[in-house]
Amino acid sequence: MNVIKFSTLLVALLMTAFVSNDVQARDPLTVEKFVEYFDQIAFRNEYSSTRTPHFLRKWPGKEIKFKIGGLKKPAERFRSVIAKHSKSLSRYGAPKFVEIGGQVPGEDLIFMFARANSMKKAGRLLEKNETVLRDMAKGRCYFLTYHMPDGKLVKAMIVVNSELPDINIRHCLLEEMAQSLGLPNDSPYVSPSLFNDREERQDLSQIDKVLIRTLYDKRMKAGMPREEALQTAHKIISRLMGKASKK
């Protein structure tokens, strides 16, 4: 999709956000409100045992290479769901998720499907801090990300409880994939949104689309300090909403 078509599509979606019942948030969706949401999701963390850096984290390339592991049956059953979610996220600027073979080296992300009592064990493939794993494994699914000092994400894992109903797994996969992009927090104040644990969304809300598009705008650099990132986010969102208001 060329830049002009993508811009037109995003503007149309933003316009929809102001008239659709899907975005009846608590407050009007102003530029300031979007920036506040970006701050909540990009620079906070839902786990008290995990320290959140005050700089921007994001994947540096155009692709995120992944493998699917763990229990074979759920891994096969949800492969197409992962592909579908990948397309949804990439449509709004995120890197493309690309599956590679099990014997091919160089994966950036690993999806692990595990039973409820093995969630902590699955995470040990990457994480050695037992306190972190204990906090993470309390949920129905979780993600782990690792970044370089310059804010570039280099490795991630998504662990999914395969014993959940299919509808919950589909939601978990989309949520964890979105969070692994560099938007790690959940907040009850961001609504309607995938980043709100009170909502079991099966798709991206307009708020989610804007947050992802903002993070992966070329002006947002990995390692950018929080204050500078929020100022840049304000410029990006202002331009998008300015275009939308002229339509």
Q: Which residue has the higher pLDDT, 53 or 222?
A: 222
Residue 24 lies in a domain: yes
Q: Which residue has the higher pLDDT, 92 or 26?
A: 92
Average pLDDT over residues 60-88: 97
For residue 9, what pLDDT is reported?
A: 42
Give the predicted TM-score (pTM) of the model: 0.86
Count up the domains in the chain and report the number. Answer: 1
Chain-centroid distance of CA 142 in Å reads 12
Residue 245 has pLDDT above 70, yes or no: no
**49-63, 126-140, 218-232: which is most confident:** 218-232
Q: Which residues pair with 155 in a beta bridge?
A: 146
For residues 232 and 35, give the distance between their C-alpha atoms in angstroms, rounded to a whole number. Answer: 10
Residue 131 lies in a domain: yes
User: Phi and psi of 226, rounded to 5°?
Assistant: -55, -50
Residue 5 lies in a domain: no
Residue 52 has pLDDT above 70, yes or no: no
Residue 20 has pLDDT above 60, yes or no: no
For residue 193, what pLDDT is reported?
A: 97
Confidence of residue 47 (pLDDT cuts 50, 70, 90): low
Which ranges of the chain would DSSP assign to H, the alpha helix?
Answer: 3-19, 31-42, 72-77, 79-90, 119-123, 130-136, 166-179, 206-215, 226-246
Residue 151 lies in a domain: yes
Confidence of residue 3 (pLDDT cuts 50, 70, 90): very low
Residue 17 has pLDDT above 80, yes or no: no
What percent of the chain clears pLDDT 90, i.e. is strictly above it? Answer: 76
For residue 241, what pLDDT is reported?
A: 83
Query: Which CATH number characterizes residue 25's domain?
Result: 3.40.390.10
For residue 4, what pLDDT is reported?
A: 38
Residue 111 lies in a domain: yes
For residue 49, what pLDDT is reported?
A: 46
Residue 143 lies in a domain: yes
Range of the domain at 203: 15-246
For residues 92 and 194, give the distance between their C-alpha atoms in angstroms, rounded to a whole number. Answer: 14
Summarize pLDDT for 164-202 with one digit per residue, the tens: 999 999 999 999 999 999 999 999 999 999 999 899 899
- Contacts (Cβ under 8 Å, ≥6 apart) of 178: 89, 194, 195, 204, 208, 212
Distances (CA, A) of 229 to 55, 60, 176, 217, 220: 8, 16, 23, 11, 7
